[in-house]
């Protein structure tokens, strides 16, 4: 298994577990985040499951443009998380913001690892 496949697999596992937890524990998540609306956790969970499916597909294909799109989505997740934390437009609890920050940090590490692995693969291919 290549370094890129390993990096993508970590992302797929993390995203699938996160998505399932958001779906299965949507009421508890809503309480942690200080809201009565649990539908956002269902929606984000389902989006993460879909994202996971696209990652699993690319673990085998490893198409550069598709992997770049996965990496971009990870960086957008981090950026969006920072906006939520800094501006707190939904009045998320301190614990909710901490959870968002921890997950954003993990996603950032995964995005950096995927970028490095893709660059190594591309460099090796061009030699």
Q: Is residue 126 situated within a structural domain?
A: no
Q: Is residue 81 situated within a structural domain?
A: yes
Q: Is residue 127 situated within a structural domain?
A: no
pTM: 0.95
First to last CA, the chain: 20
Q: Is residue 108 situated within a structural domain?
A: yes
Span 60-115, pLDDT tens digits: 999 999 999 999 999 999 999 999 999 999 999 999 999 999 999 999 999 999 99
Percent residues over pLDDT 90 in the chain: 94
Span 93-107, pLDDT tens digits: 999 999 999 999 999
Q: Is residue 89 situated within a structural domain?
A: yes
Q: Is residue 125 situated within a structural domain?
A: no
Q: How many domains does the chain have?
A: 1
Print the domain residue range for 57. 3-120
What pLDDT does residue 98 have? 98
Which pLDDT band holds residue 57 (cuts at 50, 70, 90)? very high
CA–CA distance, 94 with 33 (Å, rounded to integer): 8
Give the 3-state secondary structure of 72-108. Answer: HHHHHHHHHHHHHHHHCCCCCCHHHHHHHHHHHHHHH
């Amino acid at each position: 298994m290549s370094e890129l496949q390993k990096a993508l697999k970590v992302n797929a596992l993390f995203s699938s577990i996160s998505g399932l937890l958001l779906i299965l524990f949507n009421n508890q998540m809503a309480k942690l985040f200080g809201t009565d609306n649990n539908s956002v956790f269902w929606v984000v969970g389902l989006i993460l499951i879909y994202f996971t499916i696209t990652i699993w597909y690319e673990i085998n294909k490893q198409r550069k443009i598709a992997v770049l799109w996965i990496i971009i989505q990870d960086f957008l997740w981090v950026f969006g998380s920072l906006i939520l934390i800094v501006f707190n437009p939904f009045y998320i609890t301190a614990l909710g913001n901490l959870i968002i920050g921890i997950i954003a940090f993990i996603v950032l590490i995964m995005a950096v690892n995927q970028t490095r692995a893709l660059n190594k693969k591309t460099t090796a291919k061009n030699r």
